[in-house]
Amino acid sequence: MSKQGNKSNPYSIKFVFDLDMTLYGKGDFKDVANKKLYYDSFKPKYFLHSILSMSPYQKCILTNGTKDHATEVIRRIGLSQVFPKNAVFSIDMAPSRVMKPDHLMYHLATKHFDIQPSDTVFYFEDLKENLQPVKLLYSNWKTIWICPEKDLIRSIPSYVDMTFVTIESALLHIYSILRTNKRTMTVPIIPIPSDTTPSISRITRVSTAPTRTSKDADEMKKSLKK
């Protein structure tokens, strides 16, 4: 069981991510039948690594893939330091290979990640049908739909709290919310540049955030240390 959370904090914040097509997109790999070529095609996600590293909060992965698949993909996209092995709950860790959106999968993951009712959980998914159960099961989970297809964003279900085109823009927007939300002032607040533009959300519906590079990420990290 993961013990990354801070039990002494009544408003502990945790991030739960789907893996495939959430932490990476179509442009980050080649969908080929050959297993070696498939994994070799994954590109490192330098900017995502930098953004995730800014956060002091517990970060977990809940995936319908196997543990071996998750470990290999996480390594290939350069996020092994962000997501250690105990931060992943996969299909082969559940009895009878239960998978999302089965309610049992979420209950098992909640136990594995030591998620408490007092925690605030941000859950990121590319499949909106996997977001619906958590709204029925947990009042403390915020659902974030990562949807690169802008046409699909026009119709957002009520169980989706926020929608973004990329995981990077979603994280930057949520960091901004946490930085200004008085309810979370008892936890470490992440300072981010004031000119960061959020992507499409069901609340603001503003334009997509500009593409950022690893150089941008390095500059942002340096600014946080000043």
CA distance 105 to 116: 16
Residues 6 or more apart whose CB falls under 8 angstroms from that of 102 comprise: 133
* C-alpha distance from residue 138 to each of 10, 56, 70, 88, 142 (Å): 17, 23, 25, 20, 9
Q: Which CATH architecture has domain 13-225?
A: 3-Layer(aba) Sandwich (3.40)
Neighbours of 154 (CB within 10 A): 10
Six-digit token string for 222: 């340096």
pLDDT by residue for the chain (226 residues), tens digit each?
A: 444 444 445 459 999 999 999 999 999 999 999 999 999 999 999 999 999 999 999 999 999 999 999 999 999 999 999 999 999 999 999 998 899 999 999 999 999 999 999 999 999 999 999 999 999 999 999 999 999 887 677 788 999 999 999 999 999 999 999 988 745 434 444 444 333 333 434 433 322 333 344 454 555 444 334 4
pTM: 0.79
* C-alpha distance from residue 34 to each of 30, 31, 78, 204, 216 (Å): 10, 9, 21, 42, 34
* C-alpha distance from residue 106 to each of 141, 184, 209 (Å): 11, 24, 31
Among 111, 119, 160, residue whose Cα is nearest residue 140: 119
Contact 28, 49 (CB under 8 A): no
